[in-house]
Amino acid sequence: MSPTTFNEAVALTKKFTEKPSNEDLLKLYGLYKQATEGDNESERPGGFDFKAAAKYNAWANLKGKSQEEAKSQYIKLVEELSKTHV
């Protein structure tokens, strides 16, 4: 089942039977946030919260990418991941 819309792709990730790699999870997170909220304007987390910092960076690295382009890339990534995770 290939997702054709952003919402279908988001729903499909909830059906994954196997957890994607941390790298893929960060890509999904960054693309999702860029697609739904646009550029990351929040402050970078400090201290030793490495997970929050990684998520922040995954989103911040997409700065300037349009929300439509982020949605398109999110759909493509979910489509690829669904071949091995659903």
| Cβ neighbours, 10 Å, residue 61 | 14
Q: How far is CA 10 from CA 5, 21, 42, in A?
A: 9, 17, 23
CATH classification at residue 58: 1.20.80.10
Per the domain annotation, does 1 fall within a domain? no
Whole-number pLDDT of residue 46:
84
pTM: 0.94
The total domain count for the chain is 1
Per the domain annotation, does 48 fall within a domain? yes
pLDDT (tens digit, 0 to 9) for every residue of the chain, 86 residues total? 678 999 999 999 999 999 999 999 999 999 999 999 999 999 999 889 999 999 999 999 999 999 999 999 999 999 999 999 98
| Cβ neighbours, 10 Å, residue 32 | 21
Per the domain annotation, does 13 fall within a domain? yes
Q: What's the domain range around 75?
A: 6-85
Whole-number pLDDT of residue 86:
85
For residues 47 and 45, give the distance between their C-alpha atoms in angstroms, rounded to a whole number: 7
Per the domain annotation, does 34 fall within a domain? yes
